[in-house]
Amino acid sequence: MANLSACFDLSAGEPQHGVQVDGWHIPTQACVFALLTFAVLDWTSAKVSSESTVAEKVIQVGQVFLATCNLVFTKNYAWGYDTYGWFFYAKIYSVAICTFVMMAGRQSQSQKTRLYVAYSISAMLFANILEAMLADLPRGRYANFIAGFVVLLGIPHPHSTTYVTHDPSREGSKRNSFAQAYTVEWATLYFVWNANFGYSWKINSASNLIHVSVSYLLCLSTTRWDLWMQYRAYSLNTHFMGRVLFAPFTTQAMFLDIYIPEVALAGELLTLAVCVYYANAERLHPTNNIGHALLSTILRSFRNRSTDERVEEDSTVISVSDLDAALGGASAGTGPKHGTVMPSISGASAGPELLGEHQRASGANVKTFQF
């Protein structure tokens, strides 16, 4: 594996620098060029697919089709298969499924379909983060595990999803963005946590830093943090499918190792620092993330149990005659034949709203579809 000095030494005439795997030798220059090319492709794919549903179909569906053909007809299972087995390809195709589900939500005008899409996307993201957490735990990376748990709780609730129309002049337009109540603080925490997680795998450390950076930088450049999931799905799908499509070259080029233990340790400390920043930020007490929904459910259950106990203690059985006397005979002949339970309840407590305010960009149409 190429070390860090070899990675940044692009001088010619030193063939020992580069990547040597399974008899392949790829110079460092070619590895760096391949990584930068993928960064540009991931960026372009996510940006164009988000702005045009026609380009979305051509790019996202086309690349999955071509990559699958290459995988099936050339039997090229080299990238990741020997190390991770079938699970690795199940993982990368789960990203393609997530992309297709999101495309269905953007195209549909049915609120029921859109709600299913919102829940499906949130569930997939939840599973992806949970999988990384469980991979960190046995490796003793407890700081990153804790950060992953915080990221998990900060996932926007599916009911915070909106579909913002791109073209205000077209009523019922199907050119909609899949927007959720992501914040810059949550996206920053996810970026630092995932970059640290990807870097720790050593063999693909350089490649893993690229695909996690694209969605964050896109949100940063457009200030549309609510579109983070859309950028993330499209860019990651392009990255994975591109690596399958151009294998075996990408199999070797992506193995550029820039891992340094001290940098990994600094990354974990930075992740914990960002966790503190996230937890203490003033705007991070919304009512639209999964953590708040779970807390609300627990607290509501506790309050209901306490209320039921008070009702049982304070309930009094009143006879019909006593009730009639108390009401001055107004209820004569109309009351029940038997005793009536009159609970004494001081007040009902309603659970907090789960619907959060959506971060709308200045040019977005005000007509949105919320659940």
- Reported as a single tens digit per residue, the pLDDT across 34-44 is 889 999 999 99
Using pLDDT thresholds of 50, 70 and 90, give the confidence band for residue 19.
Answer: low
pLDDT for residue 173? 53
* Pair of tokens at residue 159: 């009911």
Using pLDDT thresholds of 50, 70 and 90, give the confidence band for residue 8.
Answer: very low
**pTM for the whole structure:** 0.74
pLDDT for residue 54? 82
Give 286: exposed, middle or buried? Use CB within 10 Å, 0-12, 13-18, 19+.
middle
pLDDT for residue 359? 42
pLDDT for residue 364? 45
Gap between the Cα atoms of 22 and 226, Å rounded: 43
> What is the tens place of the pLDDT at every residue in 158-201?
888 888 776 555 545 556 888 998 989 999 999 999 999 999 88
pLDDT for residue 349? 39
- In this predicted structure, the answer to whether residue 57 has a pLDDT above a threshold of 60 is yes
As a whole number, mean pLDDT of residues 135-141 equals: 90
Domain range list for the chain: 4-8+28-292
- In this predicted structure, the answer to whether residue 33 has a pLDDT above a threshold of 90 is no
> What is the tens place of the pLDDT at every residue in 278-321?
888 755 555 578 887 787 788 788 777 777 666 666 555 555 56
- In this predicted structure, the answer to whether residue 82 has a pLDDT above a threshold of 80 is no
